Every structure is written in C-alpha cells, then in structure tokens.
C-alpha cells in the first residue's frame, strides 16, 4: 500500500531555512508526480508545489515562489521541499501527496509541522 512519511519539520526563526523530506513506498515513485500541500493551524488546505516524475517540470504557489524549492531523488524514493526566507505565515502542517492515477492528488502523508516564530 502507498505510504508517504514526512520529516524535517520544527521551529525556525523568521528568515531561516528548513528542508522537509518525504519517504515514499508502495508504488513506483520514479513514475509519478508529487505535491506538497500545507495547512495552517485551524485553517484550510493550500497547495504549495508540484514536481513531475522526473523533476523536469516544477510548479509553485505564488505565495512561495522564489523562496521554496521542490526536488526529488528517485534513487532514494524521496521528495524534498527546501524552504528559505521563512515567514510566520508559513507556519503550517506540510503534507506530501502523490499523483499516481492521473486523477489529481490522491494519497497523503501524515504531515510534518513547521513553526516560524522568534
């Protein structure tokens, strides 16, 4: 079965950086696009970024463009999100999500909490 396990969250000061990881299993990771989606405390869902199966195409939400970078290592079945110039409004649970069956975002990880605070 599909498993997505995020890690790397924590507390960081405004202006700081953090790298999130998502370990994928249960499907052929190198064949499928992957997303990051976030959820601020008590709020709804916000799509953050997407990478094509080979990393050749990447899309970002306007709110993170120029600050966040999505990447993947298909040899390690791992997705990453490098977050720079973090702001308090980036505080959220960050979910890794798969795009396996050509019907959009399907499976979700359990999430990792990022808190940006001084």
Partner 1 sequence: DVVMTQSPLSLPVTLGQPASISCRSSQSLVHSDGNTYLNWLQQRPGQSPRRLIYNVSNRDSGVPERFTGSGSGTDFTLKISRVEAEDVGIYYCMQGTHWPPYTFGQGTKLEIK
Closest to 35 in 3D by CA, of 114, 111, 116? 111
Least separation, in Å, of the C-beta of 9 and partner 1?
13
Q: What token pair was written down for 36?
A: 């990051």
Least separation, in Å, of the C-beta of 2 and partner 1?
11
Site string for partner 1, 6-35 (x = CB under 8 A): -----------------------------x
- Piece of the chain touching partner 1 by CB under 8 A; list 13-21, 22-30, 73-81, 105-113: 105-113
Least separation, in Å, of the C-beta of 82 and partner 1?
18
Binding status of residue 109 toward partner 1 by CB under 8 A: yes
Residue 32: C-alpha distances to residues 18, 20, 40, 44, 89 (Å)? 25, 19, 27, 25, 30
Closest to 27 in 3D by CA, of 112, 113, 96? 96
Binders in 39-98 for partner 1, by CB under 8 A: 44-47, 50, 59-62, 95
Residue numbers at the binding site for partner 1 (CB under 8 A): 35, 37, 44-47, 50, 59-62, 95, 101, 103-111
């Amino acid at each position: 079965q599909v498993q997505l396990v995020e890690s790397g969250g924590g507390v960081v000061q405004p202006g700081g950086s953090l790298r999130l990881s998502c370990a994928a299993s249960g499907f052929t990771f190198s064949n499928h696009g992957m997303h990051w989606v976030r959820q601020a405390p008590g709020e709804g869902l916000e799509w953050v970024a997407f990478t094509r199966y080979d990393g050749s195409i990447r899309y970002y939400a306007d709110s993170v463009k120029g600050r966040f970078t999505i990447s993947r290592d298909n040899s390690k079945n791992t997705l990453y999100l490098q977050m720079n110039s973090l702001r308090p409004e980036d505080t959220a649970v960050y979910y890794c999500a798969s795009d396996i069956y050509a019907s959009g975002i399907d499976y979700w990880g359990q999430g990792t909490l990022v808190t940006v605070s001084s």
